[in-house]
Amino acid sequence: MLLTLAFRNLWRNQRRTLLTLSAMVISAALLILALGVFSGMFRDMLASATEQYYGHLVIAHPEYHLRRDLFAHLPDDIADQLALQREAEITGQSPRLRSFGLLSRPETSQPVELLGIIPELEQQVTSLQHQLTSGHYPSAKEHNGALIGQGLARKMKVKPGDELVFVTQAADGSIGNDLLIVSGIFATGDSRHDNNLVLAPLLWLQQVLVLPERIHEVAMVVADPMTAARIADRLATDLPEGVGILDWGDLLPEMREVIAAYDVSRMIVVAILYMATGLGILNTFFMSVMERTREFGILMAQGMRPWTVRGLVLLETLLLGCIALVIGVFCGAVMTLYMQQVGIDLSGYITPVTYAGGTILPRLHAVFEAGNFLVPAGMLLLISLFAGFLPANRAARLDPVVAVRDL
Amino acid sequence: MIPYRRTIISNTLAAVLLLTLSSPALALDVQSLIREIEQQYMGASSHANTTMQVRTAHWERTLEMEAWSLGRDYFLVRILEPAKERNVATLKRSRQVWNYLPKVDRIIKIPPSMMGGSWMGSHITNDDLVKANHIDEDYDLRLLDETATHYLIECLPKEEAAVVWGKIVYRIRKTPRVPEQVDYYDEELVRVRETHFDDVQQVGERIVPLQLTVLPLEKPDEMTVLRYRDLVYDLPLDETFFSLRNLKQR
Amino acid sequence: MDYLHLAWKNLWRNRRRTIITLTAIALSIMLVQALHNLSSGVYAGMVDSGVRAGSGHIAVYQQNYLESRDESLYFEDRNLINEIEAIDGVKQVLPRLYIPALAQSSRESRGVVLIGVDPHREAQVNPFLKELPEEAMLRSADSRDAVVGSRLLEELQIKPGQKFVVTAQHQDGTLHSELLYVRGVVSSGMKDIDSSLILIGRERAGLLTGSLSSVHELAVVLSDPGYETPVHRIIATMLATRPDIEAVSWQRAMPNLANAIKLDYASQKFIFLIILLIVTIGVINTLLMSVMERMREFGVILALGSKPMTLRRMIMLEALSLGLLAAAIGSLLGCLATWYLVSVGIYLAALVPETLEFGGVVFDPIMRASWNPGWMLQIALYVVGLTLLAALYPAIKAGRITPVKGMRHY
């Protein structure tokens, strides 16, 4: 009964309702957009750190990442042994073998890090295929095709099609060496990779290192990077002796710190946004209740209890809040969608940025995250309630006689 | 390696000469005497077939190699066995080192950053090859102890010498005059490495140990053993033999 | 003129509404100003650390050095350092030589890049050396002292005071070695730095490569960033006689840092835009409401002979008063907040361990703001402008009222 009254009250003064509604909707939608863009930047930071090279999770010998010891290897079917394909949350796996050695041309030799990979699998985990400046990603057919960083290519003066020799210490003590042909050149903007990293076929490297059917690590990606730590903890309990799992936070502690600091500034800005929105809503509700003082006076004069009046006001605000929520979320979603698909491209005046082990692409875009919708929605309801509370109280405390006389 | 060992011998002889002559005036003569001896060995060339056995924590292997040397500054080593590594070769000319890799048919110059790497997987580093011959330049020698059968010679790095060791100690047998053991100490005088010399034989006019063992003391299971066979001195070799072309030759 | 007075009075007729609106606008201004000043302070700090440890505000290199960092691209000093030092605004000129080499101890060896520096100049300016006491700093350009990163020290298995040997390629193609002693240790908290940094005297470095008076880089650090343009011009003129070398700005020498800042700033601008939009929506709403509830009153005024234009003007004036007042209060609060952030700052260390990396340089654990009165005024004016803009629609609405309709309004 009260509900119907509340509802009708809202529609009675359409102008006022629409006004308040539009303010709330627009504020909510903009808030959702802002949060989406924040998440987008956040996700970009994380993605760049992990998806260029590390992945979100890595399975390897427990201390492998400390010294990258050649002899801390695992069987190359370890992923199958652990039945990782059954893990729904893991969306890509790449077995890798790593070697440090010399890349040589007639005039110059450079120390490099060489990663033996399976192209189809590696491309599920890392994104170098999107950062090629020339040539192509080595295909499965090219038994000795290599992908090298741009800085390295420049120093050694090579282009796709040129030959390189890789020399290293093999696992049996001999000098491992073989030819590589440059398939493609990548540029990430991160000099540590561009000047140092070479990708080559896993099988090729296994032969050079005399480590048949061995790998050093399995790099994996998951749907949501923020869940990586949790997944790692869960998987860690089932791992056999001599096998460990790390998440990107373990591999890139500096990135973790950057994200912590970023979160702080994000929270501050979000607080500002909520506050601005909240005050706006508070204002309009106050006004709308004040406007109807006379009306409330009449209602109470006719016998409506003060707490009923309060309830009525609260209900109205809640209803309004819900409607605003639905429409606002919808609009917010539409705008976020635009920013996600299209975004704002800044590459005209910014090149990729490297920090804390990752590289960021120069663009503003948004991502969809449940939290960016649920929290504003919740806040909206809460603020509506709060915004309605004070005026509602005020209305309930009115002296009907005084109120009726109000004009 | 060959030059390495020979310089130890030349140092030893120099040290021994210093010991037997005590007066300062004569000591001065000793200096020029040492130089003369150095000159002798500078000109000497050698050729040998060698076997190198290396054991590490992860693998063990044995190489058959052929080696040539000239004085301290030149040598060429080629692998004969195992078949997989046949014709892999190393050339050293004074302070530069190259490797030839037959599988890819390329010559690789070893850059400074790789000089710390092991040579052919052994406990001898590329750097050892380059620097081994300058012990008399970089260290001050003095007699530490003397028994009826042995001399113990202590080598302390000179003030500005670019060497990593804190101390090197030679144990030298009096008769025949050959080194038996060399100990390498770090700056805190903790023993880090030992080399042993065994199987002393007469080769032509010289008496030399034919087996060299390197022991990294902090990895007790590991070692490198080098054995010389068919060692011959004073061949008609000159610098031109030690060329990049010969490095590649099969 | 009475309209302003009237407008002011009208504002205060509904005190609560005006105060709430004022608060919203003022707080938004304060927060936007404070946040902007905070981040500009942080950026300035980052740039400052970055130029001191890196390329300086302006750097002199051989042509093409930046693209490949090829160690063969060095150049002779020829009194350039002294000439540049004499320029007004230049705080310090740091000559640097970068040499790839092998570092060896009795147990381990590592490939490294030696940085040959002028110890006296570098100590004054380089943030990595800030923490080092006198006994830990390089004594002279030709001494055998080395300042080494803590992780590198561990990997080489040596301790401070102990020796190690570096070997590098000499100009003549052969390898040369030098004896060095660990004089000081740098523990910056950044893995990259701690596992690769070796600073030695540049003359000692020169002995290794046979290039005694050569440098790869002259990093020019200014006493104030404002000098960058004039000093750059002067240096460019100086270098006219030497076409093989060039002067570049730090943005080109350290693009990571420049772009990290630009990116952050771009996203910040976007967010500020959204904040201001939300505030504007609130203001439109408020003004509209206030117009709506005075319909009757307006009807009466019009019936009594006022022109619609008068009404519109009044609404605009109300908005203007509101805007100006909010801007004033907001800016005042913004100044207070900035003052706090400049003198006290935000202590990040509670959240993150010692130092933080962003754009490749050391992040001060205390975030400090910097004063930007020009920008703050700009924002205040924008808000006043927005308020006026927000008042347009309500004002138009007010002007369209017919006396009859208005008086019938409730």
Q: Mind telling me how many Å the CA of C175 is from chain B's nearest CA?
A: 6
A154, closest residue in chain C (CA to CA): C68
Would you call B55 an interface residue with chain A, using a CB distance cutoff of 8 Å?
A: no
Confirm whether A250 is domain-assigned.
no
CB C306 within 8 A of CB C367: no
Of A257, A273, A286, the CB nearest to C352: A257
| Chain A positions in Cβ-Cβ contact with residue C356 (cut-off 8 Å) | 254, 257-258, 261
Nearest C-alpha of chain C: how many angstroms from B164? 5
Peptide bond into B176 cis (omega under 30): yes
Phi and psi (nearest 5°) for C242? -130, 80
| Cα C146 to Cα C127: distance, rounded to the nearest angstrom | 16
In the stretch 194-253 of chain A, residues with CB closer than 8 A to chain C read: 195, 253
Torsion of CA C34, C35, C36, C40, to 10 degrees: 100
pLDDT score at A353: 62
CA nearest neighbour of C182 among C78, C246, C103: C103
User: Domain containing B80: what range?
Assistant: 2-248
Phi-psi region of A368 (alpha: psi -120 to 50; beta: other; left: phi over 0): beta
- Whether residues A172 and A227 share a domain: the answer is yes
Gap between the Cα atoms of A116 and A209, Å rounded: 10
Backbone angles phi, psi at B185, to 5 degrees: -115, 150
Q: Which of C111, C256, C292 sits opposite A353 (nearest CB)?
A: C256
How many angstroms away from the CA of A86 is the closest CA of chain C?
36
Run means of pLDDT, 10 residues per run, chain A, 407 residues: 76 75 82 82 76 89 87 89 82 93 87 94 90 90 92 91 93 90 88 88 95 94 86 89 89 73 72 73 70 77 81 80 87 87 70 57 73 79 76 74 69
Distance from CA of A158 to the nearest CA of C (A): 13
Q: Which residues contact C39 (CB under 8 A, 6 or more apart)?
A: A265, C264, C265, C268
Cβ–Cβ contact B81 with C under 8 A: no
pLDDT of residue C278: 80
A57 located within any domain: no
Q: Are C107 and B218 in contact (CB < 8 Å)?
A: yes
Identify which of B112, B117, B218 has the shortest CB distance to residue C167: B112
Instruction: Based on the fold, state whether residues C206 and C296 are members of the same structural domain.
Output: no
Contact C259/A31, CB-based, under 8 Å? no
State whether residue C143 sits within 8 Å of chain B by CB. Answer: no
B58·A174 Cβ contact <8 A: no
Give residue B172's pLDDT band: very low, low, confident or very high (50, 70, 90): confident
- C27 in contact with chain A, both atoms CB, cutoff 8 A: yes
Contact list in C for residue B166 (CB cut-off 8 A) is 106
Q: Per the structure block, which two tokens stand in for B105?
A: 């048919």
In this complex, do B164 and C164 lie within 8 Å of one another by their Cβ atoms?
yes
| C7 reaches B (C-beta below 8 A) | no
- Nearest alpha-carbon partner for B128 in B53, B68, B193, B196: B193
Confidence of residue B15 (pLDDT cuts 50, 70, 90): very low
Supply the pLDDT for residue B131: 64
β partners of residue B208: B201
Instruction: Indicate the number of domains in chain C.
Output: 2
Q: How confident is the model at residue B132 (pLDDT cuts 50, 70, 90)?
A: low
Torsion angle of the four alpha carbons A204, A206, A210, A214, in this order, in degrees rounded to the nearest 10: -170
Q: Residue A192 is part of which domain span?
A: 62-242
Where is mean pLDDT largest: A314-323, A368-377, C29-38, C123-132?
C29-38
How far apart, in whole angstroms, are the C-alpha atoms of residue C96 and residue A71? 39
Q: For B95-105, what is the mean pLDDT? A: 88
Same domain, C265 and C199: no
The mean pLDDT of C228-257, rounded to a whole number, is: 88
Q: What are the pLDDT digits (tens) for C52-85?
A: 888 889 999 988 888 777 778 888 888 888 999 9
Whole-number Å distance between alpha carbons of C280 and C388? 10
- Of A242, A266, A293, the one marking the end of a domain is A242
A297 and A220, same structural domain? no
| Kind of pairing between the strands at A145-149 and A175-186 | parallel
Select the residue of C35, C111, C285 nearest A269 (Cβ to Cβ). C35
How far is residue B64's CA from residue B80's CA, in Å, rounded to a whole number?
Answer: 5
What is the C-alpha to C-alpha distance for residues B75 and B48, in angstroms, rounded to an integer? 11
What span, in angstroms and rounded, lies between the C-alpha atoms of B191 and B183?
7
Question: Which of A265, A190, A261, A252 shows the shortest CA–CA distance to C364?
Answer: A261
| pLDDT band at residue B1 using 50, 70 and 90 as cut-offs | very low
Instruction: Compute φ and ψ for A185, nearest 5 degrees.
Output: -125, 135
What count of Cα atoms within 13 Å lies in the side-chain half-sphere of residue C266? 21
Q: Which residue range is the domain that position C199 belongs to?
A: 58-249
Q: What's the whole-number average pLDDT of chain C?
A: 85
Sign of the torsion angle spanned by Cα atoms A126, A196, A359, C192:
positive
What total of structural domains would you count in chain B?
Answer: 1
Q: Same domain, yes or no, for C224 and C107? A: yes
Same domain, C75 and C24: no
Check if C110 contacts B (Cβ < 8 Å).
yes
CA distance A137 to A155: 20
Query: Is the separation of the CB atoms in A244 and A233 below 8 Å?
Result: no
Tokens standing for residue B112: 């400074």
Query: Average pLDDT, stretch B108-127?
Result: 82
CB atoms closer than 10 angstroms to residue B229: 10
Q: Is residue C34 domain-shared with residue C71, that is, in the same domain? A: no
pLDDT per residue over C312-370, tens digit each? 888 888 889 999 999 999 999 999 999 998 888 777 655 554 444 444 455 556 778 88
For residue B41, the domain's CATH number is: 2.50.20.10
Tell if the pTM clears 0.90, that is, is over it.
no
pLDDT band for position B137 (cuts 50, 70, 90) = confident
Q: Does A102 touch chain B (CB under 8 A)?
A: yes
CB C56 within 8 A of CB C311: no
Identity of the residue in B164, B166, B184 whose CB atom sits nearest the CB atom of C104: B164
Residue A347 and residue A224 share a domain: no
Number of domains chain A is built from: 2
For residues B85 and B250, the answer to whether their CB atoms sit within 8 Å is no
The runs of H, that is alpha helices, within A13-108 are 14-49, 64-67, 78-81
Q: Which of residues 118-157 of B touch A (CB under 8 A)?
A: 118, 120-121
Which pLDDT value is given to residue C358?
A: 46
Query: pLDDT > 70: what percent of chain B?
Result: 80
A291–chain C Cβ distance below 8 A for any pair: yes
Structure tokens at C190: 């950044």
Residue C163 in contact with partner chain B when CB distance is under 8 A: yes
Residues A237 and A270 in one domain: no
C196 touches chain B (CB under 8 A): no
Nearest to A282 by CA among C43, C16, B233, B95: C16
Instruction: For residue A271, give the chain C residue with the closest CA.
Output: C31
Q: Which of A165, A173, A174 sits opposite B104 (nearest CB)?
A: A165
DSSP state of C87: S
- Find tokens 């110890």 and name the residue: C119
Element spanning A198, H or E: strand A197-201
Are residues C221 and C343 both part of a single domain? no
Nearest to B164 among C106, C168, C174 (CB): C106
Same domain, A236 and A94: yes
Of A269, A275, A286, the CB nearest to C17: A286
Q: In A, residues 266-325, which contact B (CB 8 Å cutoff)?
A: none
Q: Residues C278, C389: one domain?
A: yes
Query: Both C19 and C95 in a single domain?
Result: no
Q: What is the pLDDT of residue A402?
A: 74
- Do B67 and B1 meet the contact criterion of CB atoms below 8 Å apart? yes
Distance CA C379, CA C338 (A): 14
Per-residue pLDDT averaged across C235-258, rounded? Answer: 87
CB A94 within 8 A of CB A253: no
Query: Do residue C134 and residue C65 come from a single domain?
Result: yes
Determine contact, residues A156/A103, Cβ cutoff 8 Å. Answer: yes
Shared-domain flag, residues A218 and A327 = no
Asked if C189 and C26 count as a contact pair (C-beta separation under 8 A), the reply is: no
Give the residue among A189, A310, A215, A249 at the shortest CA–CA distance from A57.
A249
C162-194 pLDDT, tens digit each: 999 998 888 887 788 899 999 999 987 777 788
Residues 75-104 of C with CB under 8 A from B: 100-102, 104
Interface test with C, best of A54, A188, A354, A367 (most C CBs within 10 A): A354
Taking alpha carbons only, the member of A87, A92, A79, A113 closest to residue A50 is: A92
One domain, residues C240 and C92: yes
For residue A42, is it within any domain?
yes
| Same-domain status, C214 and C325 | no
| Residue C9, pLDDT above cutoff 80 | yes
Tell whether C165 is within 8 A of chain B (Cβ). yes
Whether A34 contacts C268, CB under 8 Å? no
Of C105, C112, C174, the CB nearest to B96: C174
Nearest CA distance, B234 vs chain C (angstrom): 28
Alpha-carbon span B41 to C33, nearest angstrom: 81
- Rounded to an integer, the average pLDDT of B203-209 is 78
C109/B111 CB distance under 8 A: no
Residue A181 forms contact with B (CB below 8 Å)? no
Q: Does B131 touch chain C (CB under 8 A)?
A: yes
pLDDT recorded at residue C79? 87
Give the single-character DSSP code of C138: -
A353 and A219 together in one domain: no
- Asked if A109 is an interface residue toward chain B (Cβ–Cβ < 8 A), one would say yes
Q: Find the angle CA(B18)-CA(B23)-CA(B26) to the nearest 5 degrees.
A: 65
Q: B112 CB near a chain C CB, below 8 Å? A: yes
Instruction: Decide the pairing of beta strands C197-201 and C109-117.
Output: parallel
Q: Is residue A251 part of a domain?
A: no
B95 touches chain C (CB under 8 A): yes
At C105 the pLDDT is 92
Interface residue B139 vs chain C (CB under 8 A)? no
Nearest to C275 among A15, A20, A272 (CB): A272
Query: How many beta carbons lie within 10 A of that of residue A336, not counting itself?
Result: 26
Q: Is C273 on the interface with A (CB under 8 A)?
A: no
For residue B59, list chain A residues with Cβ-Cβ distance below 8 A. 171-173
**Do both C39 and C130 map to the same domain?**
no
CA-to-CA distance for B222 and B124, rounded, in angstroms?
12
Nearest by Cα to A202 from A145, A119, A117, A112: A117
A331 and A274, same structural domain? yes
The reply to whether residue A27 touches residue C262, judged by beta carbons under 8 angstroms, is no
| Residues A192 and A102 grouped into a single domain | yes
Judge: C285–A23 Cβ closer than 8 Å, yes or no: yes
Tell me, what's the pLDDT at C1? Answer: 56
Q: How many CB atoms lie within 10 A of CB C137?
A: 17
Which tens digit of pLDDT belongs to each residue from A61-119?
Answer: 998 988 888 999 999 888 888 888 788 888 899 999 999 999 998 878 888 999 999 99
Average pLDDT over residues C398-408: 76
**What are the helix (H) ranges across chain B?**
2-20, 24-43, 126-131, 135-138, 244-248
Rg (CA), chain A: 30
Secondary structure of residue C365 in the 3-state scheme: coil
